[in-house]
């Protein structure tokens, strides 16, 4: 896949210039210096020799065929260059040239045009407005970045060319190797999703690191990312969280779900590790590329100074990693071999005068302990410290089944040792908390890999009934599904809805109430009134016919004054829901990633504390329970403060059935069950109020 792009035999460079510093010159020079073994076909209108190679004034003159064409000419000549590349049977094209989408609508037009020329010819395009690509395995530097990295296990996909340069500069400075580097630019054709798939299958790539400012197709990205993460770690730095903001939405759920929450939910689903910032992207990438994935989250710390050991322990505890003491027999055997002042707890303090052997001994013991899944080795340069020797001792005693990460603190004194560590495939960090953060990323990935198989339960439901309600709304041009019909839909998906009926008159209301039995709730039913209580349209706990009659008349009086133009369907008379814990279950569709389910405790917990969790639908029973566990207020459901525990399984099942509903009916754009009254274990939760918004329903002109 994308063989012609990544492993071309013949590469054309259109715009190969004689002038050093010009992009077309640099690309050709990079191809030459990186030692590309295939054929190069430089094209230059002047037809002069460039860097010792004969050039063609036009690719048409070249008699052979090319696999890959790299285009670096002013954007007005790009289309012609693409056409001549296609004529030369290029199967992949890199458009380096800028002046497209990034400069405004005219550029976007040009971009569409060149993308469609390529797509019609079945040719894949990287760019435009990109740095190019590097494939160390193929000695291919088809970019204008001046540095060619050494081969290594990290592949990078970057939406910013400038950051590619910074990354290459960092990699060469640290002596870290790369597999492939792909600058995806404006992503007119090839994008992050394509490369996730390619790199997942690439044997040279051990870990995929992505810098993204946007994601082109949410659903495809999700699938490709999950498939890739099942094979190897995928770490993504997604920037632009601050500008994302919260989209306008009429449901509670919608108003709480910003784009950043959707990215979080999507990454969690797909097993993508989210990097906090630029440094952590590469901190994690180094750890993943050099060390095995831990099987748990218990770490041992080895240090030659107390302070940094405490720093590591603080960072571990704050991030949820665990630090357990060594088993007594191992601790004792280590104690016997270390000076008396050494500490064999955890952190293991090998003391300021520790030599490489002492580190080696401690590392052996830490790796042997069943209670240790990963080791952080810390060194501070002290009078007797042999930093390079310690680096070698770590490598020598590393067994390779548990990850070992190093923190050699300081500058000059540890520089050689840090280079040695990298060369020995031991990831090294300037401070303990960064090592711990990288380890935390590994533990999170490991937990995702070990997650139970995702089996989405399908509940027996009555789809036809839902279809009928939706069809009715489509016919009448009402995108808003009010309480009565939302409850009809939910009942079809096996939610318990209190008995109730619409009443057109006070008499009818009384007769319904008598039939259902008191106490009774009454609510106005009108497509024009969303916030019923604001209009005096809700009366609760009515206990006799007189109260029902009074409530009906009062409601009609108030509505006629406050909303004289509202169309009134009647008053909904229903059994009063039993007291219980108020829950909100909701759904909103993210434009990128589709249906996102929300869970939260009702009222202030949602509105003031914003204590809610989101998960992409469809969800499994386990994921539904994780949504409950993810809230701070979970303790209340479990029965804090002497209150009875509520039926957690019934909430989880409600979330799963909503998941099924919104997957079955993509027309449902937003949904709130608020409140969902949940009682003690064994009692069915009650849909006390609900509403939905349908998409694709044309609002009728009034």
Hey, which residues between 128 and 187 contact a second copy (CB under 8 A)? Answer: 144, 146-147, 159-163, 165-166, 169-174
C-beta closer to a second copy: residue 30 or 525: 30
Stretch that binds a second copy, among 2-10, 375-383, 416-424, 486-494 (CB under 8 A): 375-383
Tokens, residue 456: 């989405």
Distances in whole angstroms, Cα of residue 591 to Cα of each of 196, 262, 634: 21, 9, 29
Taking the CB of residue 255, how many other CB atoms lie within 10 A of it? 17
- Per the listing, tokens 């009222």 go with 603
* Member of 39, 58, 83, 279 binding a second copy (CB under 8 A): 279
Tokens, residue 373: 């899944």
- Angle formed by the axes of helices 78-87 and 105-120, to 10°? 10
C-beta closer to a second copy: residue 50 or 510: 50
Q: Mask 470-509, x = binds a second copy (CB under 8 A)?
A: ----------------------------------------
- The least distance separating a second copy from the CB of residue 696, rounded to whole angstroms, comes to 33
* Member of 103, 538, 556, 566 binding a second copy (CB under 8 A): 103
- The least distance separating a second copy from the CB of residue 575, rounded to whole angstroms, comes to 26
Taking the CB of residue 454, how many other CB atoms lie within 10 A of it? 12
Please give the helix or strand (H or E) that residue 71 lies within, else none. Answer: strand 68-71
List binders of a second copy among 18-37 (CB under 8 A). 21, 23, 26
- The least distance separating a second copy from the CB of residue 101, rounded to whole angstroms, comes to 12
- The least distance separating a second copy from the CB of residue 499, rounded to whole angstroms, comes to 29
List binders of a second copy among 611-630 (CB under 8 A). 611
Measured CA to CA, the distance from residue 99 to residue 76 in angstroms comes to: 9
Instruction: Return the sign of the alpha-carbon dihedral for residues 87, 93, 98, 104.
Output: positive
List binders of a second copy among 222-241 (CB under 8 A). 239-241
- The least distance separating a second copy from the CB of residue 661, rounded to whole angstroms, comes to 28
List binders of a second copy among 555-594 (CB under 8 A). none
Instruction: Name, in order, each residue with C-beta under 8 angstroms of 138's C-beta and a sequence gap of 6 or more.
Output: 6, 7, 36
- The HSE-up count of residue 93 (CA atoms within 13 Å, CB side) is 33
Taking the CB of residue 415, how many other CB atoms lie within 10 A of it? 13
List binders of a second copy among 197-226 (CB under 8 A). 211, 213
Site size with a second copy, rule: CB under 8 A: 76
C-beta closer to a second copy: residue 355 or 550: 355
Q: With contact defined as beta carbons under 8 Å apart, do 673 and 654 qualify?
A: yes
SS3 608: coil
- The least distance separating a second copy from the CB of residue 158, rounded to whole angstroms, comes to 8
DSSP 522: E
* Member of 7, 278, 496, 518 binding a second copy (CB under 8 A): 278
* Member of 35, 320, 477, 603 binding a second copy (CB under 8 A): 603
Backbone angles phi, psi at 67, to 5 degrees: -90, -45
Measured CA to CA, the distance from residue 470 to residue 475 in angstroms comes to: 9
Q: Mask 625-664, x = binds a second copy (CB under 8 A)?
A: -------xx-xx---xx-----------------------
List binders of a second copy among 294-353 (CB under 8 A). 304-308, 310-311, 313-318, 341, 352
C-beta closer to a second copy: residue 455 or 608: 608
- Angle formed by the axes of helices 463-476 and 483-492, to 10°? 150
C-beta closer to a second copy: residue 94 or 668: 94
List binders of a second copy among 52-91 (CB under 8 A). none
C-beta closer to a second copy: residue 161 or 360: 161
Tokens, residue 34: 């990186």
- The least distance separating a second copy from the CB of residue 143, rounded to whole angstroms, comes to 11
Distances in whole angstroms, Cα of residue 577 to Cα of each of 541, 560, 673, 679: 9, 28, 14, 11
- The least distance separating a second copy from the CB of residue 495, rounded to whole angstroms, comes to 26
- The least distance separating a second copy from the CB of residue 488, rounded to whole angstroms, comes to 29
- The least distance separating a second copy from the CB of residue 349, rounded to whole angstroms, comes to 10
- The least distance separating a second copy from the CB of residue 282, rounded to whole angstroms, comes to 10
- The least distance separating a second copy from the CB of residue 398, rounded to whole angstroms, comes to 23
Stretch that binds a second copy, among 277-285, 363-371, 547-555, 578-586 (CB under 8 A): 277-285
List binders of a second copy among 413-472 (CB under 8 A). 413-415, 430-434
- The HSE-up count of residue 663 (CA atoms within 13 Å, CB side) is 17
Q: Which residues pair with 300 in a beta bridge?
A: 375
- Runs of H (alpha helix) within 424-565: 432-449, 463-476, 483-492, 506-516, 545-562
Measured CA to CA, the distance from residue 349 to residue 565 in angstroms comes to: 78
Instruction: Name, in order, each residue with C-beta under 8 angstroms of 4's C-beta and a sequence gap of 6 or more.
Output: 67, 68, 90, 91, 92, 124
Stretch that binds a second copy, among 180-188, 374-382, 557-565, 660-668 (CB under 8 A): 374-382
């Amino acid at each position: 896949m994308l063989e012609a792009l990544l492993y071309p035999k013949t590469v054309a460079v259109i715009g190969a210039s004689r002038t050093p510093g010009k992009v077309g010159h640099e690309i050709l020079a990079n191809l030459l210096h990186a030692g590309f073994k295939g054929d190069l076909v430089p094209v230059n209108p002047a037809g002069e020799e460039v860097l010792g190679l004969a050039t063609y004034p036009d690719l048409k003159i070249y008699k052979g065929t090319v696999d890959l064409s790299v285009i670096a000419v002013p954007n007005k000549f790009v289309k012609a260059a693409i056409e001549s590349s296609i004529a030369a049977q290029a199967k992949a094209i890199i458009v380096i040239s800028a002046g497209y989408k990034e400069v405004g609508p005219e550029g976007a037009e040009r971009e569409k045009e060149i993308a469609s020329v390529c797509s019609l010819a079945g040719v894949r395009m990287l760019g435009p407005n990109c740095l190019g690509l590097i494939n160390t395995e193929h000695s291919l530097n088809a970019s204008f970045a001046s540095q060619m990295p050494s081969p290594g296990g990290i592949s990078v996909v970057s939406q910013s060319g400038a950051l590619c340069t910074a990354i290459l500069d960092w990699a060469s400075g640290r002596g870290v190797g790369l597999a492939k580097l792909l600058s995806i630019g404006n992503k007119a054709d090839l994008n992050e999703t394509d490369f996730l798939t390619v790199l997942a299958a690439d044997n040279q790539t051990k870990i995929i690191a992505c810098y993204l400012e946007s994601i082109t197709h949410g659903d495809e990205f999700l699938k490709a990312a999950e498939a890739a993460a099942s094979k190897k770690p995928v770490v993504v730095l997604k920037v632009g969280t601050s500008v994302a903001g919260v989209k306008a939405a009429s449901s509670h759920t919608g108003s709480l779900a910003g784009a950043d929450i959707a990215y979080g939910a999507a990454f969690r689903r797909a097993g993508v590790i989210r990097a906090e910032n630029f440094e952590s992207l590469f901190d994690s990438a180094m750890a993943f590329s050099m060390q095995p994935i831990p099987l748990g989250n218990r770490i041992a710390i080895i240090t030659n100074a107390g302070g940094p050991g405490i720093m590591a322990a603080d960072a571990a505890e704050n991030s949820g990693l665990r630090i357990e003491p060594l088993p007594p027999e191992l601790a004792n055997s280590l104690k016997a071999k270390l000076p008396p002042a050494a500490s064999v707890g955890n952190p293991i303090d090998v003391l300021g005068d520790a030599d490489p052997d002492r580190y080696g001994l401690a590392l052996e013991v830490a790796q042997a302990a069943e209670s240790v899944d990963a080791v952080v080795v810390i060194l501070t340069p002290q009078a007797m410290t042999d930093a390079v020797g310690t680096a070698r001792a770590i490598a020598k005693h590393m067994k390779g089944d548990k990850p070992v990460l190093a923190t050699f603190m300081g500058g000059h004194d540890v520089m050689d040792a840090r280079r040695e560590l990298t060369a020995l495939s031991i990831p090294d960090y300037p401070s303990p908390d960064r090592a711990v953060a990288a380890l935390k990323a590994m533990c999170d990935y490991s937990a995702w890999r070990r997650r139970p198989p995702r089996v989405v339960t399908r509940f027996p439901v009555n789809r036809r009934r839902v279809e009928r309600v939706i069809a009715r709304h489509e016919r009448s041009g009402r995108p808003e599904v009010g309480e009565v019909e939302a409850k009809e839909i939910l009942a079809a998906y096996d939610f318990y809805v209190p008995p109730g009926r619409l009443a057109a008159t006070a008499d009818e209301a009384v007769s319904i109430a008598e039939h259902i039995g008191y106490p009774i709730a009454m609510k106005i039913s009108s497509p024009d009134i969303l916030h019923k209580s604001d209009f005096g349209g809700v009366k609760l706990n009515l206990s006799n016919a007189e109260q029902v009659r009074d409530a009906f008349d009062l409601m009609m009086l108030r509505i006629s004054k406050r909303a004289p133009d509202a169309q009134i369907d009647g008053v909904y008379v229903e059994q009063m829901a039993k007291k219980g814990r108020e829950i909100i279950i909701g759904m909103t569709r993210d434009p990128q990633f589709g249906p996102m389910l929300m869970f939260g405790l009702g009222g202030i917990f949602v509105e003031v504390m914003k204590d809610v969790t989101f998960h992409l639908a469809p969800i499994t029973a386990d994921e539904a329970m994780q949504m409950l566990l993810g809230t701070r207020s979970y303790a209340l459901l479990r029965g804090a403060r002497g209150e009875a525990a509520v039926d957690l399984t019934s909430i989880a099942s409600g979330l799963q059935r909503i998941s099924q509903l919104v997957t079955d009916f993509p027309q449902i754009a937003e949904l709130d069950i608020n409140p969902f009254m949940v009682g003690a274990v064994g009692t069915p939760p009650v849909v006390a109020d609900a509403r939905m918004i349908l998409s694709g329903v044309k609002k009728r002109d009034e």
